[in-house]
Structures are given as structure tokens and as C-alpha cells.
A and B are shown apart, each in its own frame.
Chain A
Amino acid sequence: MIKLSKTLTALLLAVFLVLGTVSQAFAESSYNSYYALIDEAEIFSDADAASIQSDLETVGKQTGWQMIVLTTERGISSDSMETSYDNYFYSDSRLSGDAVMFVIDDASSNRIILAYGEAQRYFTDERMSSLKSALLQYLNSGDMAGASSTFAKGCADIYSSGIPASKSANPLVRSLRFWWAYLLAGLIVFAAFILINRGRYKNMGKSGTYDLRANSELKLLDSQDVFLHKHTTYVTLNSGSGSSGGSSGGSGGTHSSGSF
């Protein structure tokens, strides 16, 4: 009896161990072409993970993007997040194509959303800011599952809004975003053309009617230059011209990103 119970206990422990291992493995990495949930930081419960997977998959199917939530404990600084997780994205063979990745670095408390491929076209700065604002309340309260679900829904909303003109593949559509500037330029040219031509037609030949130099003689009888007074002023010159400059910003053009 004791032997049996030991055996059962061992079996139960083995089952728990196996189940625990499977569960851990499931939580750490679960993906298909529509989604990827990589919980390296192990911050999601099974229930949370299942719910997030479902949300990601639904949105992934709707958008055709691979919806990725990645939690890590790498402790990457905010300045390096974009580069670091770009490398992560491109080096992980499971992640490819059109994708949106929400990275939660649990060690540094930095987060970033990165868009790849066709998905980049949908993410303007305004939309990215709006999505970040929506996530912020969950992140501040430590509700990472809520943040991940909101991320998924936010991406669905962005997809529904369509590709903005600024990100359109059609260069004409992109160009026409500045229609007001073109119209203004046209109006300026229109007005200038009329004014210049009207000016060219007016009052010709009014100048140069009398040449004083050619029609006069002067015999100077007296010439005196009497000094009255003088005054001196000065200005202080800046010795260090203190040039400062340089520019910041700019992206590589391979993805859109927003860290916060």
C-alpha cells in the first residue's frame, strides 16, 4: 500500500511536473501566422494568456498581420529598445512579414510598439500616440493582460481606419495631402503674374527726363568743412560664436515605432 502510494505520488508529481512544464512552455511561446505570444518574463497567468491569444488571433485574422506580444526581462534602456527589438524580430524565424509587436520589458519597465511590413502604413504618429494613451492606464496599474488586449483591439481599430494618405502606396494620394500648399502656391503665382504684368504695362517712359550733370556747370567759389564735434560708440562683440547644431530624429524606414 505504501509502495503504491509512493508510486502514485511519484506519478502525480511527474504529471504535475510535465503539466507544469507544458504550461510554462505554453506561456513562454505560443504562436501561429496570426499571432505570437512570447511571455519570457512570465507575467501572464494561463487564463490571461489564453484570453490574450484569443484576442491576438482574432485581430490577426481580421488584419492579416501577425499580432505579437513579447514580454522580456532583458532590461533594455528606452533609447536602445527600438534597435534591440528590431534585431529580435528579424532574428526570430517565427516572426516575419506584416506584424505589429508590443514589447513589455519587465526589467526596465520600458515598453514599445513596433510595426513591420504593410502594417507600417497604418501607423501614423497620431494613431500611435492614441494607442499608447489607451494602453497607459493599464500599464500604470500593472495590468499587462489588459494592456495586451487593449493593444490588440487598438490595432484592429487602426486597421479599420485604413491606410492614411500620408502612408498610401499611391504617390499621388500622398502628394495630394498637401493640396492646400499647392493651391496657395498657385494663387500666389496667379496674383504675382497679374500684378507683374499690370506693372509692366503702366507708366512707361516716366524716368530720365532731365540730366542735371549734362545741363549744368558749377564754379565753386568757396568751400569750407568746419569740424563741430564727434562722439564714439562701441558694441561688444561675442567672442565665442557658440555654434550649436546637429539634428536628431529620423528613422531607418523599415518600421514604425512608438516607445513609452
Chain B
Amino acid sequence: MATMEYKCPNCAGPLSFNPDKQKFSCPFCESDFDPKYIQDLYAEREKTETSDEREVNAYEERQKNRQEGDSEEYPVSYSCPSCGAEVVTTASTAATRCFYCQNPVVLGGRLSGEFKPDRVVPFTISKDKAVEIFLKMCGKKKFLPAGFTGKDQIEKMQGVYFPYWYVDEDLSGSISATGKKERSWTTGNRRYTETSTYRLLRTGDMKIKNVFERALKSNSREMLQSVHPFDLTKAQPFAMSYLSGFSAEKRDLEKKDVAAEIDKRMEEYAKQLLIDTMNGYQGISTEHFEDKVKDQNWNYTLLPVWIVTYKYKGEILPYAINGQTGKIYGSLPVAMGKLTAWAAVIAAIVIAICILGGMFFA
């Protein structure tokens, strides 16, 4: 039901988007296809999936109602279009792999209609490159637990398209603030400081772009926010085919859920822009600020992130690598035994050096 599988036009093998080539690649016949070609080829099918949206939503609603409580993490099952196996996903999963045949499956209904993203930033960093970045970060750290960079751990890394809200805003604002200027001079044996206070008034029209907020509540907000920035000039109009070969999540936070946070940050940024024009003043203190939104444009955007998690001492530690720039986020675990041993050895060396030094100078 409402699943999409992109097959190779040559051999019917499963197609995945290849970040290195920025093309769709078939792992069996090793053919590469331009995204436009695949999107045109599957345009009709994607439309059909979109028309199934009501059916999908109704089905998911029924599934959800069967669950106790109102959790967003209720499981939903689909049939794999390749092998017919039952694929169980969470309600927010929009693309995954069949657990049995490993073929990529896009759950088209999840990203259609009102849930259709406006744009997607395709992966430009492949899994191999992401692993290299992750290992490079770990390579300089000597106190990681054994097995942290092992093969089993690395194989868990998966590419996920996470949903975000992006907001562009046109607004006008005015600010009233006080600022100080200081002038100093010396006469005789006195040093004078003259402090002049000014009222600073600024009014301006502003455009603030790409203020973002996650649109998925189940994952760590800090991780999803910290993996930024992305270069949105490389964003493409959304096409489901980009998700093939990756996991993808459907948004579960609506505009109204994040509007307050976005408004707060827009106001801070607008105020900062006006304050930045108050050159030459010190100790600027805002007395009054007001802004008026003229136009606001929301974009539902899918962004590429490589994710790997590590369970250490009962805690799940997430690591995220920006799938476009390679920026990495996460807190590494520390093997305290190893660290303590090293610290003790270094402390012992320092003590030995002190004793030797003392033999010459005491």
C-alpha cells in the first residue's frame, strides 16, 4: 500500500541515489541515471501514490487508533513491493529499506499532499565519506571505548532525510536604544574621561532568510539543530526519488508548534541587525523595539544527515554528520579507565621531572 520502489530501467534492480555521482545508480548492472530521467519516468506512478493519500491517511489513522495512548511512535506495516515481506515502520518514517530483501522502499503517501516537502537537499556525502569523517574525528581521540569505531558500529550508520521548517520573512522594525561614546585626554597629572550618552533611533526594512526549526519531535532537538548549516542554494524541488536508498522521516511538528520559537528568533535577529548599524557606540542598551511582519514564507524541507548511535553505559549517544557539508555533531564517550591510566602516567612523569629538576636546583 502506497509504497514506491525505484527500479533500474535496464535490469529492474533497486535504484538508489548516489551522493558521489549525484545520479541514480543500480548496484546490479552498475548503470547510472540522471535524476531528471528517473523523476520523469516515475512521475505518473508518484501521482498515483499521491492520489492514494487519503487511503493512506485513513489506514494510518485506523492503525493509530488501535494503539493505546496517543503516541506518535505507533508501528505501521507495509508490504515490500519487491519481496512482499511485511515492513514495519514508525508512523513518521517516509523512506526505509526492507528488512528482508534490503531493497529501498519509499512510503510515498507519507510525503504527499499536505505532507509533501517543498524542497530537498540531496546527499552529497556518501556513506563511505561519512564513515571517513567519523573515523577521522575518532582517530584523534585516544580514550574512546574499545569497539566504538568497530565494523559493527560503523555499519549501523544510515543516511536519513530529516524534516525541517525553514522560514523567510520580510519585516520592518524600529529600535530605540542608548549608547555611549568615550573620549580621554591628559592634562597635567590628571587623566580625564568624557562619556557622552546618545539616544539611537533606527528604522529599517529587513529580509531574514533560512531561519530553521526541526519538524520532528522524536529526535534530539540539539542534534537536529546543531548539524546545520546547510547550503540551501543547492536545494532541489522535492522529488520522492531522492529518498531512494535512504531513510526519511515525515514531519510531526506543524507550523503552529514551532511558530513561537521562530518568531522569537526572528525578533532577536531583526534587533541584532539594527543594533549592528550603531557603529562607534559602547554599552548599547535597548529601550524599545518593535517589528511588523510584512511577509512570511514557510518551507518544509528535507535535509540529509548521516546518523549513527552508540549505546554506552545505558545511555544512547547520537552522532550526526551533515550529509552536505560533513559537519559532525555529538559527544564522544570517554573510557574513564583508559583516561585515568594515561593521566596517572603523565602525572608520574611530571613528578619525576620535578624530582630531577629539584636535584639540580634544591
Interface residues, chain A, with chain B CB atoms under 8 Å away: 166, 171-172, 174-178, 181-183, 185-187, 189-191, 193-194, 197-198, 200-206, 208-212, 215-239
Contact = CB atoms under 8 A, between A and B. Distances in A.
A212 B350 contact: no
B101 interface: no
Given A189-B346, A227-B198, A220 B359 contact: no
B143 to A, nearest CB: 6
The listed residue with most B CB atoms (<10 A of its CB), out of A177, A185, A190, is A190
B355 A176 contact: yes
A205 B141 contact: no
B200 A194 contact: no
B269 A212 contact: yes
Interface of B: 137, 141, 143, 172, 174, 178, 186, 189-212, 222, 225-229, 269, 272-274, 277, 327-334, 339-340, 342-344, 346-348, 350-351, 354-360, 362
A182 B229 contact: no
Given A175-B358, A204-B330, A224 B339 contact: no
Given A234-B190, A234-B192, A220 B137 contact: no
Contact of A205 (B143, B330, B347, B355): B330
A194 B348 contact: no
B228 A226 contact: no
Nearest to B340: A194
Contact of A197 (B197, B272, B334): B334
Contacts of B186: 237
A221 B205 CA distance: 7
A187 B340 CA distance: 12
Contacts of A178: 354, 358, 362
Given A171-B359, A175-B358, 9 more contacts: A193-B347, A201-B143, A209-B229, A218-B274, A219-B205, A222-B202, A226-B198, A232-B195, A238-B189
Contacts of B208: 212, 215-216
Contact of A225 (B195, B200, B203): B200
B192 A226 contact: no
Contacts of A236: 189-190
A228 to B, nearest CB: 5
Contacts of A187: 347
B304 to A, nearest CB: 16
6 contacts: A197-B339, A201-B141, A206-B329, A233-B193, A235-B190, A237-B186
A215 B168 CA distance: 9
Nearest to A238: B189
Given A190-B347, A200-B141, A210-B211, A171 B362 contact: yes
B115 to A, nearest CB: 25
A230 B195 contact: yes
Interface residues of A, dominant DSSP:
mixed
Contacts of B347: 186-187, 189-190, 193
Contacts of B196: 227, 229-230
Contacts of A203: 331
B323 to A, nearest CB: 14
Contacts of B203: 220-223
B328 A205 contact: yes
Contacts of B141: 200-201
Nearest to A190: B347
Contacts of A201: 141, 143, 331-334
B228 A210 contact: yes
Contacts of A200: 141
Contacts of A234: 190-193
Contacts of B342: 193
B197 to A, nearest CB: 5
A220 B174 CA distance: 10
Given A194-B339, A234-B190, A211 B229 contact: yes
A230 B194 contact: yes
B197 A229 contact: yes
Given A205-B330, A216-B206, A186 B351 contact: yes
B228 A174 contact: no
A220 B279 CA distance: 14
Contacts of B204: 218-222
Contacts of B348: 186
A227 B190 CA distance: 26
Given A230-B194, A231-B195, A220 B202 contact: yes
A235 B354 contact: no
A8 B302 CA distance: 138
Given A185-B354, A189-B346, A216-B208, A226 B330 contact: no
B191 to A, nearest CB: 5
Nearest to B190: A234
A182 B351 contact: yes
B334 A198 contact: yes
B200 A172 contact: no
